[in-house]
Amino acid sequence: MTSLSNKVAFVTGGSRGIGAAIVKRLVADGAAVAFTYVSSAPKADALAAELTQQGGQVLAIRADSADAVALTAAIGQAAAAFGRLDILVNSAGIANGKAMEDHTLTEFRHMMAVHVEAPFVAAQAVLPHMPAGGRIITIGSNLAERVPGANTTLYATSKAALLGLTKGLARDLGPRRITVNLIQPGPTDTDMNPADGPYADWMRNQMAIPEFGRGADVAAFVAWVASEESRFVTGAALTIDGGMSI
């Protein structure tokens, strides 16, 4: 028996980057996993096929997290396929780094839709399918609490909003023994923020451990929060950033 045997997870944005690492780890730990993707159909299909071939139960669903109707329908589809949902991981994310005066209101609303509205919608949609002892986990950012550089106003604002969402949901769902936690990664080597990118050296200079994290590092943290070992942790913002925030 592995730590998540007989559990069912739903992961948004699971076809690439941190999301894909989370899907792989949850499957490795014994969970059946449904995950969403928007435009990376070949990656999503390849990931689902790879994990299924290894003996996992995996379902890839095309759904834009910015579309509340599509996200709600995807959660319903996953619950129908697997019977229930024990774990929700809100991992879908976007980046839009530029000067404050260059942002549009449309960009602001889209950032909020993906990073804040989607976790709220997903939490509401998953609750009818989530038994006592469930887990709601959102992937935030260390920029929610410390912003060491310019051109991150929209991103940092949206990630900071998750602090309030996490604490409020933890209070609301505690009586049902459902925990709600926020995991805040720092620089992590993905296609969105590669370790050899133009700002990578600057980021490393801000860190106590001067190297980028791996998707697997974040996924391991998620797997622990999803497990029974974390049963008494809720409403927490858990940072994993190589000491960038200290």
Cα separation of the two ends of the chain: 38
DSSP type of residue 117: I
155 is catalytic: yes
Q: Which strands form 135-139's sheet, in the order they lie side by side?
A: 58-62, 32-37, 8-11, 87-90, 135-139, 179-185, 237-240
Would you put residue 243 in left (φ > 0), alpha (ψ -120 to 50) or beta? left
β 32-37/58-62 pair status: parallel
Q: Give the torsion sign (CA, 225, 243, 20, 63).
A: positive
DSSP type of residue 219: H
The catalytically annotated residue of 35, 155, 212, 221 is: 155
Would you put residue 128 in left (φ > 0), alpha (ψ -120 to 50) or beta? alpha
Catalytic positions, written as ranges:
155
